[in-house]
């Protein structure tokens, strides 16, 4: 099973499920009694972000830091917290970065601080990938996409998370069918696969040699009921 480092930077394409993964990882670590801080570093997209789960995080003892204008109708790039100070704090720090190169640009402002943790082996930068999303359907186009994130952030990815899904329509067959592309991406980039996620309502397919992470679907459309994991 993937063993999270002190700092976990989560990146990916819009719609890849990186926010759902970040939230599920935070809940999992908190359930183990670990101190967890989540940073909503999405300065691009005002919707479906970790700031949506402020109350649920508090109920699970998870600290959330988000831009001042997150979840308001004045959602603008504004960060008033000290990311370097949070990185130096106790426990795990999960940084949910905005999708695409635009989101990664903001992270580049802190690259000198975060790269110092990468050099000491205390930081992972995860690429959350769904091979059912536009621009990341094949290993080749996904690799090119991830190179753009690295350039914009001035940081290096360390792992791939295969989070192939179609929301509540995800099936075990869909996940299994994504594995050849995932393996090709890993070979192409030299990045190991941290884990393959499987929604908690899907029976996991046989994936020998890979760690499977069961994840609750916490990011839901407004008319869908809240996930039990957030209660």
Q: How far apart are CA 38 and CA 94, in angstroms?
A: 5
Domain residue limits, the chain:
7-223
CB 192 within 8 A of CB 160: yes
Q: What are phi and psi of 126, to 5 degrees?
A: -95, 135
- Model-level pTM? 0.88
Only one residue has tokens 């801080």, namely 37
Rg for the chain, CA atoms, rounded: 16
CB 195 within 8 A of CB 2: yes
3-state secondary structure of 150: helix
Fold for domain 7-223? Rossmann fold (3.40.50)
Tell me: pLDDT of 47 over 60.
no
Packing angle of the helix pair 172-189, 139-153 (nearest 10 deg): 60
Region 10-23 average pLDDT: 90
CB 2 within 8 A of CB 211: yes
CA 169 to chain centre: 20
DSSP per-residue codes, 185-207: HHHHH---EEEEEEETTSPPPP-
Q: How far apart are CA 129 and CA 16, in angstroms?
A: 6
Tell me: pLDDT of 177 over 50.
yes
Q: How far apart are CA 183 and CA 178, in angstroms?
A: 9
Question: What value does the mean pLDDT of the chain take?
Answer: 86
CB 179 within 8 A of CB 193: no
At 99-133, the pLDDT tens digits run 777 778 888 889 999 999 999 999 999 999 999 99
Q: Where is average pLDDT lowest: 80-94, 104-118, 154-168, 171-185?
A: 80-94
């Amino acid at each position: 099973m993937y063993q999270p480092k002190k700092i976990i930077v989560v990146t990916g394409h819009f719609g890849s499920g990186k926010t759902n993964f970040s939230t599920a990882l935070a809940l999992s670590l908190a359930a183990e009694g670990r101190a967890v801080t989540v940073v909503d570093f999405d300065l691009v997209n005002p919707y479906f972000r970790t700031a949506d789960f402020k109350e649920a995080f508090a109920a699970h003892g998870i600290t959330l830091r988000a831009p001042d204008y997150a979840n308001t109708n004045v959602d603008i790039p504004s960060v008033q917290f000290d990311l370097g100070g949070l990185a130096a704090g106790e426990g795990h720090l999960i940084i949910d970065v905005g999708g695409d190169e635009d989101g990664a640009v903001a992270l580049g402002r802190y690259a000198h601080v975060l790269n110092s943790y990468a050099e000491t082996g205390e930081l992972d930068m995860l690429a959350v990938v769904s091979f059912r999303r536009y621009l990341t359907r094949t290993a080749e186009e996904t690799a090119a996409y991830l190179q753009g994130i690295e350039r914009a952030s001035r940081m290096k990815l360390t792992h791939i998370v295969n989070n192939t899904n179609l929301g509540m329509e995800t099936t075990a067959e869909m996940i299994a069918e994504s594995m050849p592309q995932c393996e090709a991406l890993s070979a192409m980039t030299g990045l190991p696969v941290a884990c393959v996620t499987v929604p908690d309502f899907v029976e996991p397919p046989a994936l020998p040699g890979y760690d499977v992470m069961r994840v609750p679907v916490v990011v839901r459309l407004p008319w869908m009921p809240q996930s039990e994991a957030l209660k």
